Amino acid sequence: MKEKDFRIQDIASIAGVGKSVVHSWMTGTTPRDLRAVKRLADALDIQFLELLLNEREPQSVQPGDAEFDEVPLFEGICRVRIERVKSAGKA
């Protein structure tokens, strides 16, 4: 806020939330509306995780960036089944 010379009202307008919400974020309350945090991060031109957690987002790994050791676990014919699992909380 200091770098951009923003007030709480400015941040609230950018994020699309009330001033009291921004104040609660500043005093340590975890944001409930992550879309608001994303809007704010985009407007401030900083990464989402840096704003939310004060952590830099990890760089994505591209093919060829990492080397893997090949270790045979099984030789022969096998069947692999992949299933999508839904959480028990919501259907």
pLDDT in tens, 2-43: 777 889 999 899 888 999 998 988 888 888 888 888 888 888
pLDDT at 74 over 60: yes
- Amino acid found at 51: L
Q: What is the pLDDT of residue 59?
A: 60
Q: Over 70: is that where the pLDDT of 68 sits?
A: no
Q: Which of 31, 3, 28 is nearest to 12 (CA)?
A: 31
| Domain residue extents for the chain | 8-53
Helices 19-26 and 8-15: crossing angle in degrees, nearest 10, is 110
**Number of C-beta neighbours around residue 25 at 10 A:** 22
Model-wide pTM > 0.75: no
Q: How crowded is residue 6: how many other Cβ atoms within 10 Å of its Cβ?
A: 17
